[in-house]
Amino acid sequence: MFKKNNREMPLLNTASLPDLIFTVLFFFLIVTHLRHDEMRVKLDTPDGTKLERLTRKASTLYIYVGYPIDNFGNTKSDGYVIQLNDKIATIDDIASFVISEREHISEDDAGQMIIDIKADKRVKMGTITDIKQALRSVNALKIRYSAKEKTQNEMQTH
C-alpha cells in the first residue's frame, strides 16, 4: 500500500559562502583601527593621580618626545627628539603634520581632533611650550598629556 520513498536530502549550496566570508572580513578590516606607531623614542612618562581614559582614539594625533632609539633598541643620549607617527621630526614639522592629518579624516573628526603629547618626564618645559606654540599656529587647541597612574603605595610614600 504505502511505498517507501527513497528521496535524499538535497545538498546545501555553498557557492556563495566565500563571497559572504570575504564581505564580513572586508567589513572588519574597514571598521578596525590597526594603526600603531613604531616607537623611535624612549620615554618615561610622568606619574599622575587624576587621570582620564582617552575615549576618541580615531581622531587623536600622538606627539612623542623622548630619547632617540637606534635600530637595535638601544637609547642614544643625543638629547630629546620629537616623533610624529613613525618619523623623527622637528618643531617646525608639527604644523604641516597636523594639517596633513586633518586632510585624511572626516570633517566631524577634524573638529574633535585631540593632540596627545607623550613626553618623557625630564623634557624641559620650554620644549613642550614650543610644541604648544606650533599647535596653536594651526588652531589645534585640544591638547592632552599622557601619564602613567600612580599607585596607592607610591602616593603614601611621597
Q: Is position 141 within any domain?
A: yes
Domain assignment of residue 141, given as a range: 41-157
Q: Is position 108 within any domain?
A: yes
Q: Is position 34 within any domain?
A: no
Residue type, 76: K
Q: Is position 74 within any domain?
A: yes
Count up the domains in the chain and report the number. 1
124-130 long-range Cβ contacts below 8 angstroms, 24+ apart: 127/65, 127/80, 127/91, 128/65, 130/91
**What CATH number corresponds to the domain at position 107?**
3.30.420.270
Sign of CA dihedral 71, 72, 75, 77: negative
Per-residue pLDDT of the chain in tens (158 residues, 90 and over written 9): 566 667 777 777 888 888 989 999 988 888 776 556 778 888 888 888 777 776 667 788 999 999 888 766 666 666 889 999 889 999 999 999 999 999 988 888 888 899 999 999 989 999 999 999 999 999 999 999 988 887 655 544 44
Which strand (E) or helix (H) includes residue 88? strand 87-89
How far CA 125 is from CA of 92, 95, 101, in Å, comes to 17, 19, 25
Residue type, 100: S
